[in-house]
Chain A
């Protein structure tokens, strides 16, 4: 029965997502497109940070690598236009980002806790500076990507649908990871890595797999984001604040849960883009205060908080 409810909800949500662009104006379609993108980033970060407990403070490095790889491929092969021209550069962006993660995984994943977080921050800064200052990478002057939007289709609608499909794909992967053997290994690593080893979990291998998978997901989003920009320089894609956003979405929604990052991203974006859109000078301050408040009141995030209706006794804790 529970399964049926979930299936029904998914179907309703899918229908809603498909229909919304017809009802909404371009601004709100763009807000939703950004929401899908950010939620996707949160879902990807959550695989490594939420499931395996390895908090990365530099995950935007994968957005940058994904976006620039797509653009370089376009420059070299003179990729044409039309939606199908995106496929190869986008896949290449995702894969190169995964390959980069594989290379840095060996030294970095020996670090734990804060050390890993800071090391990732360092990696993202170093890569950003390289892309910006080494002239063949063209990060300083910027790169162009041809528009893949089919003629006659509004741009915001095109990317709305693409990001919606990609977010669904990432959620599906995350769901599969969470309920698989792989997911169990990551949970054990998060809870206590030494004990996990003693219970037969090949921790090194699983950590690396989570790191690479997470990077591929972010790289995929980054490459598509690059297309949606059309023209971008280093700092449009290597954005430090986004590294933090991914973490905040997960913290607010419920770290290590499947839907937590999506809920967190929805809440933050609704606040910053819709409610506070008119108070641009204040919105960062209010957002910051809200993040602090949520973490103080609900340390496990929205999904991990035991909600109870007012006026009723807590269900299980009873016996007092």
Chain B
């Protein structure tokens, strides 16, 4: 069996006239922490929506653990080992944290008998076990993000897609989140995350994919990526010196 966990070939998504994702290909191997970065509106969340099945592809294909995902329903993708933490945390507000996480543990791998143990492990690895009996609606942003990860982890994913897990967190919380994602990876789950916080990204990711305006711009180690001219141009704009001279 190949080492590639998730791969996309020519992934394209058009919303009416607008091409949101344009012929993007990628290979995510086992065991890494991958980054997905790009300016606002580049299509990062859309790409995750395509992988998890919230939108159908316009063309191209996505393969996960050797299976072409095609029209597979969202819940089946999760049961196959694909989990996602949303950018805007979507807790079940009326349920306690333990109940929130238990839903993932119950349904992520049907037939599993160790629901309680899985729930506890997911609460522990994300560091929110002490809040287990609180209602999700009462949490702070930082704890909500951890809950988002905990719930996803409870489904025992092979690959976790985390959409901006550090958005809106203060530096301390960001550090905790980075530690938490590392722990998840060390427990055997491959992580692919969208992130704006460049410090967090370069700190945690083994490799980074950059997209801009729906197209793949670059891929490489954090060091390669932050020194890539095209990437710098996409984020900061083209330096004035490089512009073609104005001819009168």
In addition to A188-B103, A195-B90, A200-B110, 10 A-B residue pairs with Cβ atoms within 8 Å of each other are A184-B102, A191-B94, A191-B95, A192-B91, A192-B92, A197-B74, A198-B86, A198-B152, A199-B75, A202-B73
6 pairs of residues in contact across A and B, judged by CB atoms under 8 Å: A187-B99, A191-B92, A199-B103, A199-B108, A200-B108, A201-B107
The one of B73, B74, B93, B110 that contacts A191, using a Cβ cutoff of 8 Å: B93
Contact of A199 among B54, B94, B95, B107 (CB under 8 A): B107
Which listed residue (B54, B91, B103, B154) contacts A201, Cβ 8 A? B103
Complex-state Cα separation, A194 to B155, whole angstroms: 15
Query: Complex formed: what's the CA distance from A192 to B151 in Å?
Result: 13
Tell me if A200 and B90 are in contact (CB < 8 A): no
Q: A194 CA to B84 CA in the complex, in Å?
A: 11
Q: State whether B90 touches A194 (Cβ < 8 A).
A: yes
Does A185 contact B95, Cβ atoms closer than 8 Å? no
Q: B190: which A residues are within 8 A, CB to CB? A: none
Tell me, in angstroms, the Cα distance from A270 to B92 when the chains sit together.
Answer: 36
Is there an interface contact between B79 and A200, defined as CB atoms closer than 8 Å? yes
Chain A residues contacting B184 (CB-CB under 8 Å) are none
Given the complex of chains A and B, what is the CA–CA distance between A187 and B107 in angstroms?
13
- Cβ of B86 to closest chain A Cβ, rounded Å: 7
* Nearest CB of B to A208, in Å: 14
> Smallest CB-CB separation from B78: which chain A residue?
A200
Give the chain B neighbours of A187 by CB distance below 8 A.
92, 95, 99, 103
- The 5 A-B residue pairs with the shortest CB-CB distance, nearest first, are A191-B92, A200-B107, A200-B78, A197-B74, A200-B108
B93–A195 touching, CB < 8 Å: no
Closest to A181 in B: B106
Please count the residue pairs between chain A and chain B whose beta carbons lie under 8 angstroms apart in the complex.
71
Is the CB–CB distance between B90 and A199 below 8 Å? Answer: no
B42 at the interface (CB under 8 A from A): no
Q: Which of B145-175 contact A (CB under 8 A)?
A: 151-152, 154-155
Would you call A31 an interface residue if the criterion is a C-beta within 8 Å of the partner chain's C-beta atoms? no
Residues of B within 8 A of A204 (CB): 73
Complex CA gap A196/B99 in Å reads 12
Cβ B74 vs Cβ A198 within 8 A: yes
B118 within 8 A of A: no
Please state if A185 and B54 are interface contacts (CB–CB under 8 Å). Answer: no
User: Judging by beta carbons under 8 Å apart, are B103 and A198 in contact?
Assistant: no
Please, what's the 1-or-0 string for B35-77, where 1 marks a CB less than 8 Å from any CB in chain A? 0000000000000000010100000000000000000011100
Decide if B78 touches A199 in the complex (CB within 8 Å).
Answer: yes
Q: Closest CB of chain B to A311's CB: distance in Å?
A: 26
Interface residues on B, range: 20 to 34
Chain A contacts for B99, CB-based, 8 A: 184, 187
Which B residues lie within 8 Å of A201 (CB)? Answer: 75, 103, 107
A185: B residues at CB distance < 8 A: 103, 106-107
Q: Please measure, in the bound complex, the distance between the C-alpha atom of A188 and the C-alpha atom of B102, giving whole angstroms.
A: 10
Most buried by B among A184, A187, A198, A200: A200
B155 touches A200 (CB 8 A): yes
* Nearest Cβ on chain B to A185's Cβ, whole angstroms: 7
> CA A194 – CA B108 in complex, angstroms?
14
B103 touches A192 (CB 8 A): no
Which chain A positions have C-beta within 8 A of B102? Answer: 184
Bound together, the chains give a CA A200 to CA B110 distance in angstroms of 9
Asked whether any CB of chain B lies closer than 8 Å to the CB of A287, the reply is no
Query: Which A165-208 residues have a C-beta within 8 angstroms of B?
Result: 181, 184-185, 187-188, 191-192, 194-204
Contact present for A202 and B92 (CB under 8 Å): no
Q: State which of B91, B95, B104 has its C-beta within 8 Å of the C-beta of A200.
A: B104
Q: Does B21 contact A (CB under 8 A)?
A: no
In chain B, positions 97-131 with a C-beta closer than 8 Å to chain A are 99, 102-104, 106-110
B28 at the interface (CB under 8 A from A): no
Question: A192 CA to B94 CA in the complex, in Å?
Answer: 11
Determine the chain A residues whose CB is within 8 A of the CB of B74 once the complex forms. 197-198
* CB of A242, distance to nearest CB on chain B (Å): 28
